[in-house]
Amino acid sequence: AQTVTQSQPEMSVQEAETVTLSCTYDTSESDYYLFWYKQPPSRQMILVIRQEAYKQQNATENRFSVNFQKAAKSFSLKISDSQLGDAAMYFCAYRIQGAQKLVFGQGTRLTINP
């Protein structure tokens, strides 16, 4: 079975600094997608960034980037120049290509200190 593990229940960072959230996954598949979702206090799930497993280049979206290590089955999220609005729960998620279901990690609560 596929599993997604986020080993950091909580993280905090000073405003304007950089923080990295960890995510590892377990799968025997070769084609899949990885996602990071943000859930602020409003509770809406917002897609932050996604990565196709067949792509070697790490995805980047403005201040958000990933470090995708396929062999190590690792998919960490780096947030640069942290802002107060980045405070939220962050969920790592995985989906096999062609499948419907997303498998979520346990989440990491990120606090931004002013």
Give the footprint of another protein on this chain (CB under 8 A).
33, 35, 37, 42-47, 50, 52, 91, 97-98, 100-102, 104-107
Cβ proximity to another protein, 49 vs 79, nearer residue? 49
Evaluate whether 75 touches 50 at the Cβ level (below 8 Å): no
* DSSP-assigned letter for residue 76: E
Evaluate whether 4 touches 104 at the Cβ level (below 8 Å): yes
As beta bridge partners, residue 4 has 25
Nearest distance from residue 49's CB to another protein, in Å? Answer: 10
Residue with tokens 């939220």: 88
Nearest distance from residue 16's CB to another protein, in Å? Answer: 27
Nearest distance from residue 40's CB to another protein, in Å? Answer: 11
Three-state SS for 35? strand
Cβ proximity to another protein, 93 vs 112, nearer residue? 93
